[in-house]
Amino acid sequence: MDVHNVPGVKARDVAEAHQKDLLHQQEYGCRAITYWVDEKRETIFCLVEAPDKEAVEEMHRNAHGLIPNKIIEVSSTVVESFLGRIYDPPKAGISDEGLKIFEDPSFRILLVSKITDPVLLQYKFGKEKANGLLNLHNNIIRKNLSQYGGREVEHRGSGFIISFTSAAKAVSCALAIQKDLSAGWQDMPETEADEIEFRIAINAGEPVGKTNNLFGDTLQLAGHMCAIVKNSQIAIASPVKELVSKDFFQNEGSDFLALTPHDETLLELLFSKLDENWQNPDFDIDEYCQSTAMSTSQLYRKTISLTGLSPNLLLKEFRLEKAKELMKKQRYNISQITFDSGFTSPSYFTKCFKKKYGLLPMAYIDLLH
């Protein structure tokens, strides 16, 4: 999939350019499958089957001269999950010249949900009860996404990615999910209910951005927002808030964490530096300050205000989550996990893991495998 940023672009111009691609595609071993055009945002996204990125560029260059701003590799299945199609819309209009003309924006609102790690739920509640809670959770989410016109993109056991074309429907779906889950868990003892964390973040964006993954930028920020939002609260990114009526948030204010663009930039900076350095045992608070161009007091103040955690604790919890991800990939020994996740002492890693999750790392691995 490639992206073209074209000021003043019109659907008819894109239809003509696509027709030229079709005439030249075989020369470059390509198949121009379809495209999405958004006149308002002045963007074009083309889906092309091709041997490599260079072939796509050459096809476009020689067909009409519109060189892509960026090209990424994608799976057609994933594209369809996010965007709802991988071929031209069946109801596209045909001009008198036989040109298929349509405007179909690729901008999507993505709802990302996270529930407590299923392995930890199994440890706390037993396998049967944990499976019952997860099935209830899955059924409630799927019922509501269907009701509000969402598309299930991915489900990895501990959460969902859902794609919407309407911001209002995405937010309404999130509220309905929260309400239904609260009702579903209300018969549980309060101490047990407190053991279940459920969070939602909603962001919006285009398929191709800075990262090399489809909707990677949008999902990355949504994931960071899920990490900082309070239990049973919904984090709303600024592009989504702009698309939804202000009255909506005034009426439901306590259910939301609404981030400003400045908050989002800071959040991405904090987590990007963690993501780059978490495996480096020498990465400490001094290094964190240097990488973010902040003083110790600035970093502490901003990290506390945005995440509720000190920089030290944020770094430690980030490493612990990454350690769990390593455990899921293969059966590592504790020493290897310790050093691969940036800790310097297996005993300290074990102590931190036990304090955070309530069980020893080896017990987690045994449940996992």
pTM of the model: 0.94
Closest CA to 286 of 308, 318, 315, 266: 315
Mean pLDDT in the chain? Answer: 93
Q: Report d(CA 24, CA 32) in Å as an integer.
A: 10
pLDDT of 342 higher than 70: yes
Query: CA angle, corner 116, sides to 110 and 118, nearest 5?
Result: 105
Predicted confidence (pLDDT) at residue 253 exceeds the cutoff of 60 = no
pLDDT value at residue 250: 65
pLDDT at 369: 80
Residues 101-121, mean pLDDT to the nearest whole number: 96
Of 154-158, 212-216, 265-269, give the lowest mean pLDDT range: 154-158
Burial 254-293 (b: 16+ CB within 10 A, else e): ebbeebeeebbebbbebbebbeebbeeeebeeeebbebbe
Specify the pLDDT at position 251. 57
Helix (H) or strand (E) holding 246: helix 246-251
Specify the range with the lowest mean pLDDT, choosing from 56-65, 183-192, 237-246.
183-192
Q: What pLDDT was estimated at residue 198?
A: 94
Rounded Cα gap, residues 28 and 230, in angstroms: 51
pLDDT by residue (tens digit) across 255-313? 899 989 999 999 999 999 999 999 999 999 999 999 999 999 999 999 999 999 999 99
* Three-state SS at 199: strand
Task: Report the C-alpha gap between 197 and 215 in whole angstroms.
Answer: 25
Residue 249 pLDDT > 80, yes or no? Answer: no
Alpha-carbon span 106 to 211, nearest angstrom:
17
Backbone angles phi, psi at 298, to 5 degrees: -65, -50
